[in-house]
């Protein structure tokens, strides 16, 4: 199943979640109403007989029951909204709630540096922003999770046990598993699920608090009433727990198999993720988490963090997951592994050294620069799908100059690096741009950008956007006001010569989608419902701009334009007429196509791939624009390095 099919499946899961949540709320309201009727019957036992039975008794107190029902609904709704609001900041808020410590971009800790390198390589492979990275230092078990409304505000957290016990291949498999959840839209659903579940659990939580209060005040006259209220709320709470675990089990279980399969497609090997699952089954701490909030996030973990029974399990059995990856696996081998690891726990770094996984990653062939133009290869099968080239991404990562990577990771260097990418080759214009930087961000940032400019100017064009993506996490840590000044300064640099180049446009758009959007991630709607025919004008302009920038010959551009749109809207004819103001036209088009339905987006990306590869080769302009379009669609796109 590809990215767009998973997005459509996530939408169906959301609808099922709403139905289950509605059933849970209805059950809770009925239990509360029944408790109220029971309390009234105890208070005036003769009333039930007076009204001729329970039905008439309930009808006589319909007004009170209506008030009780509305109050219960209000409490559940308010609790859900408050919890969702507390997670509005995105994935980082979830990781910090569980005690996660942020991994700094310039860390020198070997385990943390290995983790960051793995995350960055997979982000490059999927053409997504590098998520924030957290470590749960107090957790010795092997586990991980991803959280966030979209890839722009995503966070990935791993336990200290995973860092210490998994080798690089295994860690890569776990991280790839979590990336698949990010790309599939599972993480947005997980945050919504956390909020909704808190709403149906809040009455039970309140019951426990009231019971604690009642025990402390058991000598008071109101003790009996307080304990009765607590008992009722606890019963209601068990109803919430029942439905909450049922919902989590129903939503989560099938997604784990798909995420495992996607991880294999990302990494192109099964030994990594299968090895991680075997270690979970064999080490003493397994995947258990000791945090008090584990119940709340159990559905979003890599492994079962609680140890639910099979009925409530949010994850398939470990042996089943391993066999799906390694059909020849014999569960009896776990006995010997447990004995081995009980006396000598696994060490990921030592295994890396023994297996040679800690060796420097291979750089790009020859001069570390892919040849141009690029062969189209299997672009149709790559765009929007999970078989990302992790090996190609590792080569790109290794080809980036160390000085520029260090700048991307540094809090003070990230802004200077991106500004350096926008500096012009003309010395006079560059001096004018320097003044704009100094005016907006200070002289120190301007000088740092100028110092990096010679290396960014020498950088191969296809390495520019991957390098910029490494700087985005450090940018997202900046205060909103400072980030606004930075974006305004970038805009001034882009327009300094009175024209907008395609790379400048792409970098500006990526800043907007992958950095600025993260300031308020909850506002973004993940998917629209528009059909392709409803976006006819936007599609025409998008394909015209792509064809014009990707071909120097007008006839070749027209053929690519027609071939691409024929895939998207085969029954309609379009005249190739590139818009005069291509920047404004592209802005309108990209905003509109993100409102397309998931499967419509798939057809669009297939059409763009056809237009790009129509002449059998892909130019840098096409590669950069295609990467930007896919980023605006929040869609993965592997590195385009077909002809090295």
**Which active-site residues does the annotation give?**
178
Q: Give the C-alpha separation, 561 to 548, whole Å.
A: 9
Give the three-state DSSP class for 329: coil
Burial of 438 (0-12, 13-18, 19+ CB in 10 A): middle
User: What does the alpha-carbon distance between residue 140 and residue 159 come to, in Å, rounded to a whole number?
Assistant: 7
Report d(CA 575, CA 562) in Å as an integer.
8
How many Å apart are CA 113 and CA 103, to the nearest integer?
A: 9
Sign of CA dihedral 625, 472, 637, 524: negative
Which run of H or E residues covers position 188?
helix 186-216
User: In this structure, what token pair is assigned to residue 356?
Assistant: 């040679």
Which residue, 455, 547, 537, 445, is CA-closest to 486? 445
All residues at 6 or more sequence positions from 47 whose CB lies less than 8 Å from its CB, including other chains: 40, 41, 57, 60
CA distance 574 to 593: 18
Alpha carbon of 213 to those of 11, 369, 539: distances in Å?
43, 69, 63
Q: Two tokens at 47?
A: 């009333």
Helices 502-514 + 480-494 axis angle, to 10: 170
In angstroms, rounded to a whole number, what is the distance separating the alpha carbons of residues 369 and 460? 6
Contact (Cβ atoms closer than 8 angstroms) between residue 127 and residue 235? no
Helix (H, G, I), strand (E, B) or coil at 102: strand
Q: Is 379 exposed, middle or buried (0-12, 13-18, 19+ CB in 10 A)?
A: buried
Side-chain half-sphere of 59: how many Cα atoms within 13 Å? 7
Neighbouring-strand partners of residue 102: 134
Identify the residue whose tokens are 């987006």.
Answer: 601
Whether 127 contacts 627, CB under 8 Å: yes
Q: What would the DSSP string read from start to end of 417-445?
A: HHHHHH--SSHHHHHHHHHHHHHHH-HHH
463: CB partners within 8 A, 6+ apart = 396, 399, 400
Q: Which of 640, 520, 543 is nearest to 593 (CA)?
A: 543
- DSSP designation for 365: S
Half-sphere exposure of residue 630: CA atoms within 13 angstroms, side-chain side: 30
* CB-based burial label for 241 (10 Å; 0-12, 13-18, 19+): middle
Cβ 102 vs Cβ 369: under 8 Å:
no
């Amino acid at each position: 199943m590809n990215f767009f099919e998973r997005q459509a499946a996530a939408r169906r899961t959301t609808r099922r979640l709403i139905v289950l949540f509605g059933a849970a709320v209805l059950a809770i309201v009925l239990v509360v109403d029944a408790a109220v009727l029971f309390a009234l019957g105890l208070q005036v036992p003769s009333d039930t007989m007076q009204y001729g039975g329970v039905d008439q008794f309930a009808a006589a107190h319909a007004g009170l029951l209506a008030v009780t029902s509305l109050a219960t609904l209000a409490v559940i709704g308010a609790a859900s909204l408050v919890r969702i609001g507390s997670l509005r900041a995105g994935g980082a808020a979830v990781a910090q709630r569980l005690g996660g410590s942020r991994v700094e971009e310039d860390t020198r800790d070997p385990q943390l540096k290995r983790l960051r390198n793995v995350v960055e390589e997979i982000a490059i492979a999927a053409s997504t922003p590098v998520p924030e990275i957290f470590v749960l230092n107090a957790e010795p078990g092997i586990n991980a999770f991803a959280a966030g409304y979209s890839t722009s505000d995503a966070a990935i957290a791993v336990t200290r046990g995973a860092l210490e016990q998994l080798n690089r291949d295994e860690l890569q498999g776990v991280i790839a598993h979590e990336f698949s959840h990010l790309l599939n839209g599972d993480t947005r659903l997980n945050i919504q699920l956390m909020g909704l579940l808190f709403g149906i659990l809040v009455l039970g939580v309140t019951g426990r608090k009231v019971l604690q209060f009642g025990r402390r005040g058991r000598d008071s006259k109101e003790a009996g009433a307080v304990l009765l209220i607590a008992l009722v709320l606890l019963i209601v709470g068990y109803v919430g727990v029942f439905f909450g675990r049922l919902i989590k089990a129903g939503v989560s279980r099938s997604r784990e198999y798909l995420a495992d399969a996607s991880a294999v497609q990302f990494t192109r090997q099964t030994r990594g993720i299968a090895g991680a699952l075997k270690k979970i089954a064999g080490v003493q701490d397994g995947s258990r988490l000791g945090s008090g909030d584990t119940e709340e996030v159990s559905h979003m973990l890599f492994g079962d963090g609680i140890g639910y029974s099979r009925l409530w399990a949010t994850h398939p059995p470990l042996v089943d997951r391993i066999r799906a990856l390694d059909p020849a696996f014999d569960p009896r081998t776990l006995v010997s592994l447990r004995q081995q690891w009980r006396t000598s726990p696994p060490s990921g770094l030592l295994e890396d050294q023994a297996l040679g996984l800690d060796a420097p990653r291979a750089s790009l062939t020859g001069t570390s620069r892919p040849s141009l133009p690029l062969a189209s290869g299997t672009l149709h099968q790559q765009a929007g799908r999970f078989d990302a080239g992790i090996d190609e991404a590792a080569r790109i990562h290794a080809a980036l100059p160390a000085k520029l990577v260090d700048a991307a990771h540094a809090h003070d260097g990230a802004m200077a690096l991106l500004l350096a990418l926008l500096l012009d080759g003309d010395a006079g214009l560059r001096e004018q741009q320097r003044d704009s930087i100094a005016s907006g961000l200070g002289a120190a940032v301007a000088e740092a950008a100028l110092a990096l400019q010679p290396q960014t100017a020498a950088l191969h064009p296809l390495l520019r956007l991957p390098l910029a993506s490494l700087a985005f996490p450090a940018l997202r840590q900046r205060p909103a006001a400072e980030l606004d000044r930075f974006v305004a300064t970038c805009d001034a640099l882009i327009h300094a010569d009175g024209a907008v180049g395609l790379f400048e446009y792409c970098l500006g758009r990526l800043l907007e989608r992958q950095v600025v959007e993260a300031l308020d991630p909850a506002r973004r709607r993940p998917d629209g419902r528009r059909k392709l025919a409803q976006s006819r004008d936007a599609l025409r302009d998008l394909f015209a701009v792509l064809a014009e920038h990707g071909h120097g010959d007008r006839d070749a551009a027209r053929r690519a334009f027609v071939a691409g749109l024929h895939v998207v809207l085969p029954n309609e004819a379009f005249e190739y007429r590139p818009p005069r103001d291509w920047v404004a036209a592209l802005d309108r088009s990209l905003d509109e196509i993100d409102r397309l339905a998931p499967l419509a987006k798939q057809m669009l990306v297939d059409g763009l791939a056809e237009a790009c590869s129509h002449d059998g080769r892909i130019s840098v302009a096409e590669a950069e624009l295609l990467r930007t379009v896919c980023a605006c669609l929040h869609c993965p796109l592997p590195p385009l390095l077909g002809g090295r």
